[in-house]
Structure 1
Amino acid sequence: MNRYRPIGLYDSGIGGLTVVREVFAQLPAENVVYFGDTARVPYGCRQPSELISFNREIMTFMMQQGVKLVLVACNTSCAVALGALRAEFPIPIIGLIDAGAQTAVEAGRRIGVIATEATIKSRAHERAIHQIAPDREVLGLACPTLVPLVESGRWQGKEAFETVYEAIHPLINLKLDALIFGCTHFPHLVPIVSEILGPQVRLIDPARQAVSNVRRYLSMNRLANVGEPKGENRFYVSGEPAPFQFLANHLFAGTVGRVESIALPFPNVSSIA
């Protein structure tokens, strides 16, 4: 496989950009293809069969783009569809849930998880943590109101604080050692969550460990694009591109160029050599 090919990342919307940010930090020479399924966000309230279908469509698009590896930047997709995707597609597919578990078990015995309804219902984080450390206590909380909050760009201010407080206040008195952000939208809300839960709770964004896992895989398999000229990153969405582009440029200081809207079902796009 050509090491100059891009890394693919995708999410239901803008949440996965928190993972792209980590790719830019840890793997600055790598090219990125990102897809946000903004026409069908949120994923957390959907049925598993529907989610698997969406993920297959997106993975097919990634294959058409000639990516060398996919990092699924959506915890709901990881919880519901990762196994099926790995069985069907002939490229490396790396998820977030195991990465979050790797970090969380080092933080203490009582671990909270905030995520979408589908992710919490799957108990994927609980299984991943207990595979590493069976003695850890895992407390999951579905927070369905937070994804729409982040997708709208309302990450700060009184409304944001009130919405986050209403969602996570059941965790306040649980004496957590750590809290996993089980949705890539949620790291946008770190300052508010930290204010509500206090500095004694370690907040874990799985993106850092997940990208570290990607870096290790690329290095071990001689697929890393180390030191080569960086090409143009490409961003695609299934909905209107303007709102996504505005929020992406807010996150990346105006460096995101064109965002292309791809109609569903996806057209046949030529792969990159």
Structure 2
Amino acid sequence: MHLDDGRKAAEAGDWVAAGHAFVRAAMEGSAEGAELAARVTAELVPLADGGSAEAAALLAGIYLEYFDESALPAAAAYARVAAEAGLPAGQRTYGHMLVKGLGVEEDRERAAALFRAAAEGGDAYGRFNLALLVDDTDESLQLFEAAAREGIVVAGAVLADRLSALDRDEEALGWYVWAAEHGHTEAMNAAACWYRDGFGTAPDPVQAVRWFFVMLAHGDGNGVHEAIQMAKAGALNVEQIREAGRLAGDPTSAETLIGMLPSGEGF
């Protein structure tokens, strides 16, 4: 879908829209999207040089993500232009470069100011990046939550980690589950382990195995070994395994796990 949108935008001569679409495709794992995003820079350069802050911010991001280190000076120059123009995406990108020292001298204080400006301009990643830098615990938690509610899934997982460190386990589990439901595999593993061990809730082997199954469906096979151990230890019966598979949307894995049990075990 994103590739088609990008091609249509390119045919119409809207290179900024095309670039954004190709980047979105690349972020979803499309190698062709990454290739097209890199190629569209040839069309973005004259736009950025002509004063388009949006083209400059997009160009900087593409240079950072899809080019080697030789592109860092150009990425920094375009990100700075976009940031100084007050564009939240440019502020966030230039701030990221300042935090990491990518093509510029590291300056975390200036980066934080740029992230705050981006956040105030409505940029969700700006909120997330600012949350990682601020010292005030309450503010950082609020920023992580705001970023998560605006669709930054990793913000929900990090929020869960921070809440766990504060011994706010029930809240932490809620955010691990939220991030897991949005496809974050590390949060899936955390949710599964917490349900298994009873952190933030009473032990719930069905939910534990459910999330181990979901991990497997997302290409992470580590959880299936945990599920096998739980089943063989008698932590849940056959019907509970089937319920975990139903909740995970993966009845096949449930039947496979049942088939691994010695005859009569788990009933």
Range of TM-score over shorter length: under 0.3
Report the structure number with the largest CA radius of gyration: 2
**Structure having greater relative contact order (Cα 8 Å, sep ≥ 6):** 1
When you count helix as a share of all residues, which structure comes out higher? 2
When you count strand as a share of all residues, which structure comes out higher? 1
